[in-house]
Amino acid sequence: MTAHQPSLDAYWMPFTDNRSFKAHPRLIAKAHGMHYETDDGRRLLDASAGLWCVNLGHGRPEIAAAVGEQLRTLDYAAAFQMGHPMAFELAQRLTQHTPGDLNRVFFTNSGSESVDTALKIALAYHRMRGEGQRVRFIGREKGYHGVGFGGMSVGGIAGNRKFFGPGLPGVDHLPHTLNLQHNAFHRGEAPWGAHLADVLEDLIALHDASTIAAVIVEPVAGSAGVIPPPQGYLRRLRDICDAYDILLIFDEVITGFGRLGQPFASQRFAVIPDMITAAKGITNGAIPMGAVFIRQGIHDAIMDVKGPGIELLHGYTYSGHPAACAAALAALDLYEKESLFTRVRELEPHWQNAVHALQGAPHVRDIRSIGLMAAIDLEPMAGKPGSRGFEAYLRCYAKGLAMRSTGDILAFSPPLIVSPEQIDAIFATVNEVLHELP
């Protein structure tokens, strides 16, 4: 470490192996386009768009300019009982891209807050309809919905839950849909598993529909290692929810903002949920922001409160923060001007060919891909789960490639501006690393 670098002790890093990081830090100094630059001047190709958020590529000058200008003009305005025009403009503009009548928008600062907001709106909605006993939520095994108590409770990644107590009461989980026996190496939606949606009928029979507020799922599970839905699965969930007046929430924190070749996964799968949770790509990762998109009828039911006063007692100091709104509007201009909500449709065949060419490489037991997301699932090392995946991550990093590893699964989700040549470069490096891995 050079003399002018700060001590690494005080900063407790999120979801990071702090002890090994601080022994061998990986510090990023700059980023531009498809690349990071490390503090010692090495370039890294960013195959994960930061953490699935920098969809437009790094360092967009239009976003920087808009944020700078906004902070000089209006740095902050009270978010409660006051407003500023950009928040309204942004909400209006975003709803031109949302499916169906999801035309009401609640702003948050992260995906976790979006999830907790959507769960609370579901409870408030049922209560307003005189069904205040609908307090249960159904999540899904392997789901990731952030780290708030709500998101953790409906989430289904065991390691993220076990240290932190029982979470929300009354939560149950659908089975996950990952099945290597039936679906290994399949491209896009999985052929097998639509029937797993019918387990929702069993959970409804067990708990009674009258106690269930909402079902929340990621249309494509991201954090658990890119698990595309089985063909017809999401449609079935929608139909069952409709039959029992249960709200369906799609958590599109990763799949929103063009990742699947449409503004939202909902449009790709032609299934319209009652709420969509979003974050990440909304500002291209430049300023923290999240949003919940809500069907008008849900909003209107809550507005229907008797008497004057605040209708929904929920919100954040930084809901619709001016700098975040400026970043999001500038990002939206770029998504629209450069047709980036739909670019993935052209890239997807090349992307799939490139990643699936690694079938047969050492240690590879499954490859999953949909839109501009992919996962390479490695056989774990005997007795050391996760260590092969992390070793692959470190070796890719040393060779100039930034990606994600989660356990023994390698995950890829580059910025939507990636070129076919860069796609080839990503998987050429991964192929090299797979051949060197213990």
Residues within the interface to ligand PXG (CB under 6 A): 51-52, 110-112, 115, 144-146, 218, 222-223, 251, 253-254, 279, 404, 406
> How wide is the angle at C-alpha 135 spanned by C-alphas 133 and 137, nearest 5°?
145
Least distance (Å) between residue 119 CB and ligand PXG: 12
Q: How far is CA 4 from CA 28, 156, 338, in A?
A: 15, 42, 41
Nearer to ligand PXG, 115 or 370 (CB): 115
Nearer to ligand PXG, 266 or 406 (CB): 406
- What are the DSSP E strand ranges found in 147-301? 171-174, 212-217, 247-251, 275-278, 290-294
Nearer to ligand PXG, 212 or 254 (CB): 254
Nearer to ligand PXG, 128 or 293 (CB): 293
Q: Which residue is nearest to ligand PXG (CB)?
A: 111
Pairwise CA distance, residues 147 & 151, whole Å: 6
Q: How far is CA 287 from CA 177, 192, 298, 325, 347, in A?
A: 33, 39, 28, 9, 27
Least distance (Å) between residue 370 CB and ligand PXG: 14
Least distance (Å) between residue 225 CB and ligand PXG: 8
Least distance (Å) between residue 2 CB and ligand PXG: 29
DSSP output for 303-361: HT-SSSS-SS----TTTT-HHHHHHHHHHHHHHHHTTTTTHHHHHHHHHHHHHHTTTTS
Nearer to ligand PXG, 60 or 404 (CB): 404
Contact predicate 314/151, CB 8 Å: no
Nearer to ligand PXG, 51 or 135 (CB): 51
Nearer to ligand PXG, 406 or 429 (CB): 406
Least distance (Å) between residue 112 CB and ligand PXG: 3
Residues 75/80/81/86 CA torsion (nearest 10 deg): 40
CB-count burial class (<10 Å; 0-12, 13-18, 19+) for 7: exposed
Least distance (Å) between residue 65 CB and ligand PXG: 25
Least distance (Å) between residue 374 CB and ligand PXG: 13
Of 204, 260, 192, 174, the C-alpha closest to 231 is 192
Nearer to ligand PXG, 204 or 271 (CB): 271
Least distance (Å) between residue 241 CB and ligand PXG: 19
Element (H, E) at 435: helix 420-436
Q: Pairing state of beta strands 409-412 and 373-378?
A: antiparallel
